[in-house]
A = this chain, B = another copy of it.
Amino acid sequence: MDLNFLKTLIIPAETKIAMLIMDGLGGLPLEPGGKTELETARTPNLDALANLSALGLTVPVGPGITPGSGPGHLAIFGYDPIQYEIGRGVLEALGVDFDLGSNDVAARGNFCSVDDHGLITDRRAGRLPTEMSKELATLLRTIRVDGVEFFVETVKEHRFAFVMRAPGLGDALTETDPQRTGVPALPVCALQPDSEKSACLANQFIERASGLLAGKQSANMILLRGFSRYPCMPTYPELFGLRAAAIAVNGMYRGVAKLVGMQALDIQGDTLADEFTALEKNWNDFDFFFLHVKKTDTAGEEGNFERKVSVIEEVDALLPRLMALKPDVVIVSGDHSSPAVLRSHSWHPVPTLLYAKFVRSDGIAEFGERACARGSLGILPAKDVMPIALANAQRITKLGA
């Protein structure tokens, strides 16, 4: 369903919607026929809520597609993640809380090593220590070119976010990383006429960076990829009339939330409980809350089944603090699956729960993959969850007479 069509039916209401996202929530059993992480976890509060909710399994992007964090979140936020693409460069900049604007083109940068002939010997410069990477970033920040501002923000080890700021910059650019060693870095080429200025500026930056880094022991060159502009997205306030808040510790999730017009709230501390405290503090000032739990995904990617189980149990124990606020609509879901046995994101549909006063509840007192597969939401595109939540929040008017 087109968001511009949905927008025409949005009406104001006093209701509040809470979306609790456990990153990489969906899982798999360790042995065929066993229980998944979520099914293994002791979750009395989620199970009780499930009993009053409609359950289903969400498909973030499409059948068989494993989403990255950007597409996964856009989908559960209600956007078609194929239509609304977030480039790698933009994600990298958002991840370091860089305040991207509409005049910016961002790229993901690597320090790398080249030999005397300029041939790449190590695409990651021996994963140089983050401290050293920060020093080199300071050096690169001295590069000045008329009519453009450059930004270099260290991410971790050899990785940095690179941003060019000037009017009229296109992002249809080739990458400089040849993805192998023994060859030189590639020049940036414009794929469309509107990106020629960007290509020219990026190549000037690379040349100056190469000069500044010459003689450094390992990190004596840079590679840039994923050139991209801030995507033009209709926002939650515009589309849905929602004052929306994001509660997330990690910069990237705060950034994606900001993309769709959510305000990223300050959190005192970095524990899960601190996130719930931020929720309580700000409850009266917003209509919609996105609360992001990172550690489920981290445990899944580390292959730590037990750890993922215990993070889910930790969330379950905190759930009563959310319910005590008496939200009108609660969504509990994930942005994608991250089964510990796969040690990575996966394509599996994501357990999803929708609670509201007028939801047609399934009476299934369990929140888990197989329970959700029997739920009345069925297997649905993740982007369809928000319209159903908005309907339950009485924020969509009737179509036609």
How many copies of this chain sit in the oligomeric assembly? 2
Tell which of B226, B376, B391 touches A65, judged by Cβ atoms closer than 8 Å. Answer: B391
Tell which of B86, B378, B387, B392 touches A400, judged by Cβ atoms closer than 8 Å. Answer: B86
Within 8 A of B (CB), among A42-70: 51-52, 57, 61-70
A71-B400 contact in complex given A28-B358, A62-B387, C-beta closer than 8 Å: yes
- Interface residue tally for chain A (C-beta within 8 Å): 70
Interface string of A339-355 (1 = CB under 8 A from B): 10110111111000000
Tell which of B341, B344, B379, B399 touches A61, judged by Cβ atoms closer than 8 Å. Answer: B399
| Separation of A349 and B346 alpha carbons in the complex (Å) | 27
Tell which of B67, B379, B384 touches A378, judged by Cβ atoms closer than 8 Å. Answer: B379
| Separation of A389 and B347 alpha carbons in the complex (Å) | 11
Closest partner residue, chain B, to A88 (CB atom)? B401
Is the beta-carbon distance between B67 and A399 smaller than 8 angstroms?
yes
Which of A96-104, A292-300, A362-370 interfaces with chain B? A362-370
Is the beta-carbon distance between B399 and A81 smaller than 8 angstroms?
yes
Is the beta-carbon distance between B346 and A396 smaller than 8 angstroms?
no
Q: Among A86, A378, A399, which residue has the most Cβ atoms of chain B within 10 A? A: A399
Closest partner residue, chain B, to A373 (CB atom)? B376
Contacts of A65 in B (CB 8 A): 1, 6, 9, 387, 391, 396, 399
User: Distance in Å from the Cβ of A367 to the closest Cβ of chain B?
Assistant: 15
Does A147 have its Cβ within 8 Å of any Cβ on chain B? no
Does A33 have its Cβ within 8 Å of any Cβ on chain B? yes
Is the beta-carbon distance between A91 and B387 smaller than 8 angstroms?
no
Is the beta-carbon distance between A62 and B379 smaller than 8 angstroms?
no
Is the beta-carbon distance between B363 and A370 smaller than 8 angstroms?
yes
Report which A residues bind B (CB closer than 8 A): 1-2, 5-6, 9, 28, 32-33, 36, 51-52, 57, 61-71, 81-82, 85-86, 88, 91-92, 226, 339, 341-342, 344-349, 358, 360-363, 369-370, 373-380, 384-392, 396-401
- Known contacts A65-B399, A69-B400, A88-B401; 18 additional CB pairs below 8 A are A1-B62, A1-B63, A6-B65, A32-B361, A33-B363, A57-B376, A62-B387, A64-B386, A64-B390, A66-B399, A67-B400, A68-B399, A86-B400, A88-B400, A346-B391, A373-B375, A376-B379, A378-B378
User: Top 9 A-B pairs ranked by shortest CB distance?
Assistant: A64-B387, A68-B400, A64-B391, A1-B62, A63-B384, A373-B376, A378-B379, A347-B391, A64-B388
11 A-B residue pairs with Cβ-Cβ distance under 8 Å, sorted by A, are: A1-B63, A6-B62, A63-B385, A66-B397, A67-B398, A70-B400, A88-B400, A346-B358, A347-B396, A360-B369, A362-B373
